[in-house]
Structure 1
């Protein structure tokens, strides 16, 4: 059970942390708004899903840029995780 769910069960309103997803590909795209998630694991799953969508678009253009990545930062600007495009897919064949 996540902290947020546990707090809600006992009637405490919990504030979810905000995570920022900065894309580093052919140029740096900084996330100015962020997203609220209960924990880093959920934020990382969000980053992985977004990377896979970006890769689909790149494949349509005939390229697979595995060296690109997303930094996940907290509200204080600390990098909590870096998710590379390479680690989100398995290349077979």
Structure 2
């Protein structure tokens, strides 16, 4: 059975659903400061949003996702120590 163009569009809609969302080539999770900015607009939150988005852009340029950067930061602070026993 042959598929029409509309059927192909529906199939292609799910093609990239497993990938992380991106906006202007930045990871979608880098834009959470904008949500804070929208709810509480002030100069301070604008500066924090711009700085944090710049930080996330720099991390992505280095090849880190926000989750990987967080794990590396925790590893840097606490070292290779692992808890033993029940937590």
| Same fold, judged at TM 0.5 (above) | no
State which structure, 1 or 2, has the greater radius of gyration over its C-alpha atoms. Answer: 2
TM-score normalised over the length of structure 2: 0.26
More strand by share: 1
**TM-score between the two structures when normalised by the length of structure 1:** 0.25
Relative contact order, CA 8 A, sep 6+: which one is greater? Answer: 1
